[in-house]
Amino acid sequence: MNIIDLHIHSTYSDGTLTPTEIVRLAEERKVKVIAITDHDTINGLEEFEKVDTNYVEKVNGVEISVQMKDFNFHMVGLFIDYKNEQFRQKIDYLKKARSNRNVKIIQKLNDLGYEITLEELEVIAKGEIGRPHISQILLEKGYFKDKQEVFNKLLKKGAPAYFDKFRYSPEEAVNIIKNIGNGIAILAHPGLLPFKRSEKAQIISYLKEIGIDGLEVYYSEHSPDETKFLKELATKNELLISGGTDFHGKNKLGINLGTGRGNLNIDYAIFEQLKEFWYERRAK
Ligand code: AMP
Ligand code: FE
Ligand code: FE
Ligand code: ZN
């Protein structure tokens, strides 16, 4: 069976491998299709497109931060036309929001007595700076023992150095991915939504109403039971099924490209369905 991985982060967000290294790893691990879906940036896609490979099919993607009422979630865009100028501007706005937020987090950390500067972050982050980079610096300086501790004590939502950033509404994210970017819009890792199943079902039917195309049913952190539940929801709502590992290289230990925590083998047929849907819509 050919396997696929439609959720991957590179050094252009908070992954530790470059797009080129990711393609090489996919060849090695026999992952037939890969999508790079960096957080709020498309800067890695140019390098990604240029990598020569006889084996891997490459899909241009992005993972957009979304705010709905009082909670946040992620929307993955696949097959996006990242060269479209209007699309680039919309994503660029998110990058600016992220930079502004980073400055605030650093200020807060300094006020709390932690020595950390933007310059230090820029050295370790090749692309967009995120909280994982901040935690890395704090670990290197010996303030904490592990990454989770940094998040729990300082960086997670509600913690003392947490700052929110601007996020698009679900409607706008769908508009950006589908209408402007000509891609397909997928709800990322629905299993991570902090809600009961009945509430998840409501959120998903709302997202279907506003035009989302699919659900990321297969995901590293979805239990078999959750996967089954999401598959049923996809069928019920006539949504496409997608899947990926959320590979971040060394920034998410234990998650391997293509196989996640070991047994996430997503069939090539899933990709064919997505691609076919995308082609048909474009032909219209
Ligand atoms: P950012 O893009 O800067 O908001 O950082 C988001 C990234 O931080 C996610 O992709 C995770 O890798 C990591 N992250 C977010 N929240 C937590 C948490 N509570 N515990 C551990 N890691 C987290
Ligand atoms: Fe991440
Ligand atoms: Fe995500
Ligand atoms: Zn992700």
Q: Is the CB of 132 under 6 A from ligand 1?
A: yes
The predicted-structure confidence for 1-36, as pLDDT tens digits, reads as follows: 899 999 999 999 999 999 999 999 999 999 999 999
Higher-pLDDT residue of 86, 252: 86
pLDDT at position 283 is: 83
Pairing relation of β-strands 214-219 and 240-244?
A: parallel
Taking the C-alpha atoms of residue 54 and residue 11, their distance in angstroms, rounded to an integer, is 23
Taking the C-alpha atoms of residue 197 and residue 152, their distance in angstroms, rounded to an integer, is 26
Alpha helices in the chain (DSSP H): 19-29, 45-50, 85-111, 118-124, 131-140, 147-150, 170-174, 197-209, 224-236, 268-283
Pocket test residue of 131, 137, 146, 150 for ligand 1, highest count of atoms within 8 A of CB: 131
pTM above 0.85, yes or no: yes
Instruction: Tell me if residue 221 falls in helix, strand or coil.
Output: coil
Pocket test residue of 121, 124, 155, 219 for ligand 1, highest count of atoms within 8 A of CB: 155
The predicted-structure confidence for 252-264, as pLDDT tens digits, reads as follows: 999 999 999 999 9
Q: Which residues have CB atoms below 5 A from the ion given as ligand 4?
A: 63, 246
DSSP character for 144? -
Residue 251's pLDDT band, with cuts at 50, 70 and 90, is confident
Instruction: Tell me if residue 28 falls in helix, strand or coil.
Output: helix
Taking the C-alpha atoms of residue 102 and residue 54, their distance in angstroms, rounded to an integer, is 39
